[in-house]
Structure 1
Amino acid sequence: MYYCKLAIRIFSRDDSWLQQLQQIEPPENFEYDPAVFAEFDAGEARKGDLIVLDTKLPYDLCRIRTYCKKSAVLIFCGEIPETAGLSTDELNACSDVWSKPLSPNLVEFRLKQVLSQIKLRKEHFLTQCYLNTTIDSIPDLVWYKDTRGAHLKVNNAFCNAVGKTKKDIQGRGHYYIWDIEPEDYAVGEYICLESEEVVLQSRETCVFDEKVKSRLGMRQFKTYKSPLFDEDGELMGTVGIAHDVTDLGNMMVELKIILRSMPFAIMVYDHKGVVTDINRRFEEYFQIEPEEIIGKDFNEWRKAIIKNPKTNDSGKLEIRLANSGIERIVEISEEPIVDVFDSFIGKLFVCRDVTKERSFEQRILLSANTDALTGLYNRRFFYEKIEENRWKPQISLLYVDMDNFKLINDRFGHQVGDDALKIVSDNLKTCCPEDMICRIGGDEFLIAVLGKCSETGLEEKAAWILRRLQKVFDGTDAMGELSASIGIAYTLDQSLPIDQLIKQSDIALLSAKRSGKARYCLYSDMLKDVIDRRGR
């Protein structure tokens, strides 16, 4: 939409001009600013967009034209002898020449024609202005071609790319503009001319990836080409827009290099969940080729591959992979990818091999929780684990202590003593594979039975341990004098302090030793009274 105030200057002694003009409705978007002067006034002439000369003139028409705006419409009205006697230069100085006499109808008709032409010229100028300003503001290359391939209009970006002016380009073809010899084009990877034919034949917008040799070297373009039709629906050419993606392409190459050199397995997928890239480490971890997954749905792949994940202390998922005989523990993290407007455009799916870390952590944890000599759990871990299981309906303890251990240690040395402790721990593991076994110090061991177990079951377990240990000890010369005693205690009271339960099992152990060693004893309140009276 536009608005135009049309300055009309009429130089005439005939007042009917103004009356005639007032009867003509202004064209759409126009408004009249009319004025009539009896004599020619150069100052008023300079203001006019439409100038009618119907009076005696002080100068010839060529000079009068110099007083007018370049775009002004200049009409000379004169008697037939006057109009017939105008020189070629004077005729060229005018926009039109009207011979008098003019009837009112003819004046109205001709004025309407002139106003219509002014409107068309105004709209043509505005259209050209809008178009030129728009395409010259676009950083992409823009061009218009006829069906022969001649360039009709291009923008500044196009001129900068080819190193030529718009005047040089207008009417010229592809080879001249891009400085390419037909022979080079034939053996190169260029598809520009072929793509024009595709657009003309398909009669619809098409998108192409095109390479062009420019004054800046080889450039990669993403081009959008559309057909142009005339008023009768016939093809008259094409319009193209080319976005230079050379730098973006180089960035993508660099990104691929970085991606492939990363020590992590990485997958990239877009906002629609479509996989766009993977690196070599990803191929290695998941034993997959790029063509098997790129372009596929990420969530479908994930459901098929990521099974039984566990959450680690950092809140990230971990899975176990076993490919080509190599087992890995992999930590998974997903990082969003956003554009400059903070809009989500995809994600990085990153898999980090934490096998060594977890192995190291396991060794540290094992070292902190176990006895270095026997490999059994230590006192610290015993308390920690018992507290975690206090909710269970029954906690039972078997307090195992070796008889005559000091005698063996003193007689045969600490190496034999250490061997004896290892033998005991190995046999306790065999006898109680589902129970928690701890070495709480010296030659003392605690076996925790977590869950329901009858007194008979506890006594049978203790008897089995004693028989097995005795058989092992009797089979060696150095350890023949060794035996073991066991104190048994259990509770159904979840509020009973664990130290209290340990004390009860210790009392039962003391009773077993006083009864002759190499035996077990089950704790009871009566037993506690007996021990308390005798003293320890």
Structure 2
Amino acid sequence: MYHVQLHFWIRGIDESVVRVWKKMEALPRFEHVFHLFSRSMRLPAGRNQIVFLDDKAPLQMQMLRQDIGPEGKIIVCCDEPGSIPADDLACVDDVWPSATLGELAEFRFRRLQERLKAEKDAWLTETYLEQTINTLPDMIWFKDLQGLHLHVNDAFCTAVNKPRSDIEGHDHYYIWGIPRAVYERSDYVCVETEDDVIKARKTCLFDEQVMSAQGLQKLKTYKTPIFDEDGKTIIGTVGIARDVTQENEYKDTIQRLSREDKLTGLANRDYFHHFVETECKDEALTLVSIDLEHFREVNEKYGHELGDAVLKIAAEELGDVFPNDLKVRMGGDEFGVLLRGVHPAEEVRLDVEKFQKQLQEMYAMDERMKRVQANAGVAQCKAGTPLDKLIFHGSAARAEATKQGDGTCYVASEIDEADSMDD
């Protein structure tokens, strides 16, 4: 991946030692270049610049450090480090004894090569990590066992609307701006799940939510324990969170559209069948079946826009009278209301008549609508009755009401299991 040219700057070092270093083979992906330098030279900066000095070749050490920068290295060969001024010694990366330099020249230089390679490999690994986590749109963070964020990626900074310097070293409450007391009264579970991961000692998946700079975010979060070198001791956790707020909204919208009538917002016929078959298997049910008399005349005479208004008004009035029951647009001008459990037929009839009265009052406000009335049939069944039988008897009751006309409500007798759909 990388190729490094190391520059070794020599001053005052025995020539025999330098010859040994020059003969040594460079490590893979490295090459060596040796230079002699004087006090008047300005050396280039960077981690690939290594300076060797003998203590008999004094230089202005602080200026030398300024030249090569904090990442370059200065090695002084000296038998009496105490003779080096403290300010100069602070600029030195290592001190090699001059007395044994000849004997250990190859050994020390090889160790230096390995150290430089380890630093380069560590830099490359860190670069890999940073490039990876900052390219991803998901939030990524590393925490210690005290809950302090040790490192985060760019997406995390964007989510909390804070710079990395104001995140790293801080806990969840500070970063997200949630007082502990408020957090404990809320549905947030982010901190608790850290404990779950540590107890499980493996990667865990959570559904979490946080209040971010973009509003309430729903997250799909993977959290993993980080183990120490012994492979047993947990020293922290890493988390990856994907914002699924929009995705969930899309799913909710798709689900809602699949079960709702687009015009009225009531349940559609398919969802009505699904709901009864999955949610009402062991319940007594009442079905109110409704159609709008003279609707087609209004729709044909005044157009679909007014016809749509007629249907919407009917849906609104159903919602007002039957707020807790399933309201359905069966199709065209046909509606239904499903009441779960046992309901006295007379009470249902009174509610239906209330709906019919309110609806007629609403239609009377527009001369074009005032002839429209709702005819309704009520059918009831015991638990376990097939849905098609309930619908059949509801439709038959509505047909009887339509036959009578003028906004009638007809209540059929309770369906018996022995009843035939041909009755």
TM-score range, shorter chain: 0.5 to 0.7
Q: 1:45 to 1:191 in 2, by over 3 A?
A: closer
Segment of structure 1 superposing worse, 234-243 or 53-62: 53-62
**Partners in 2 of 1:287 and 1:164 — Cα distance?**
46
1:409-488 → structure 2 map (5 Å cutoff): none
Letter in 2 for 1:236: I
Segment of structure 1 superposing worse, 122-131 or 195-204: 122-131
Higher RCO (Cα < 8 Å, 6 or more apart) = 2
Partner SS for 1:189: coil
In the alignment, does 2:96 pair up with 1:61? no
1:211 is aligned to: 209
**Partners in 1 of 2:42 and 2:29 — Cα distance?**
23
Partner SS for 1:117: helix
In the alignment, does 2:281 pair up with 1:282? no
Offset of 1:73 from its aligned partner? Answer: 1.1
Contact 1:38 1:55 in 2 (8 A): no
Q: 1:286 to 1:150 in 2, by over 3 A?
A: closer
Unaligned runs of 5+ in 2: 282-386, 394-423
Q: 1:55 to 1:188 in 2, by over 3 A?
A: closer
**Partners in 1 of 2:279 and 2:192 — Cα distance?**
29
Partner SS for 2:84: coil
Contact 2:13 2:53 in 1 (8 A): no
2:244 is aligned to: 245
Offset of 1:148 from its aligned partner? Answer: 2.0
In the alignment, does 2:253 pair up with 1:254? yes
Calculate the aligned-residue CA RMSD, in Å. Answer: 2.9
Partner SS for 1:226: strand
1:135 is aligned to: 133
**Partners in 2 of 1:170 and 1:134 — Cα distance?**
19
Q: 1:45 to 1:254 in 2, by over 3 A?
A: closer
In the alignment, does 2:7 pair up with 1:4? no
2:160 is aligned to: 162
Letter in 2 for 1:70: P
2:26 is aligned to: 26
Q: 1:78 to 1:288 in 2, by over 3 A?
A: same
Partner SS for 1:199: helix
1:276-425 → structure 2 map (5 Å cutoff): 280-285=268-273, 288-290=276-278, 322-326=388-392
Partner SS for 1:170: coil
Provide TM-score, normalisation by structure 2: 0.60
**Partners in 2 of 1:107 and 1:41 — Cα distance?**
27
Partner SS for 1:213: strand
2:344 is aligned to: none
Partner SS for 2:103: helix
Contact 2:141 2:153 in 1 (8 A): yes
Match of residue 151, structure 1, among 135, 149, 152: 149
Offset of 1:46 from its aligned partner? Answer: 4.8
**Partners in 2 of 1:109 and 1:238 — Cα distance?**
40
Offset of 1:78 from its aligned partner? Answer: 3.8
In the alignment, does 2:99 pair up with 1:101? yes
In the alignment, does 2:72 pair up with 1:77? no
Q: 1:84 to 1:183 in 2, by over 3 A?
A: closer
Q: 1:290 to 1:143 in 2, by over 3 A?
A: farther
Match of residue 173, structure 1, among 160, 171, 174: 171
Segment of structure 1 superposing worse, 208-217 or 41-50: 41-50
Q: 1:33 to 1:247 in 2, by over 3 A?
A: same
Give me the identity figure in percent: 34
Deviations 1:214-273 (A, max 9, x none): 233211101011111111011111111101111222222222332222479xxxxxxxxx
User: How many residues of Structure 1 are paired with residues of Structure 2 in the alignment?
Assistant: 283
Letter in 2 for 1:139: P
Unaligned runs of 5+ in 1: 265-278, 294-320, 328-536
2:88 is aligned to: 90
Q: 1:186 to 1:128 in 2, by over 3 A?
A: same
Contact 2:139 2:156 in 1 (8 A): yes
Partner SS for 1:164: coil
Deviations 1:294-320 (A, max 9, x none): xxxxxxxxxxxxxxxxxxxxxxxxxxx
Contact 1:209 1:222 in 2 (8 A): yes
2:14 is aligned to: 14
Q: 1:290 to 1:137 in 2, by over 3 A?
A: farther
1:274 is aligned to: none
Q: 1:30 to 1:203 in 2, by over 3 A?
A: same
